[in-house]
Amino acid sequence: MSDALQQSLDRLARVRGMRGSMWVAAEDGLTVAQLLMEGVRGKAVAALAASLARKVSGTAGAVGAGTVRFVQMETASGTLLVAPAPPDLLIVALADPQVNIGLARLEMLRAVRAVAR
Contacts 24+ apart (CB under 8 A), 38-42: 40/94
Domain tally, the chain = 1
> CB within 8 A of 47, min separation 6: which ones?
29
**Within a 13 Å sphere around the CA of 77, how many CA atoms are in the beta-carbon half?**
3
**47-93 pLDDT tens trace:** 999 999 999 999 999 999 999 999 999 999 999 999 999 889 999 99
**Quick one: which H or E segment has residue 71?**
strand 71-75
The pTM assigned to this predicted structure is 0.93
Domain that includes residue 96, residue range: 3-116
CA distance 109 to 71: 12
Q: Could you tell me the CATH number of the domain that includes residue 111?
A: 3.30.450.30
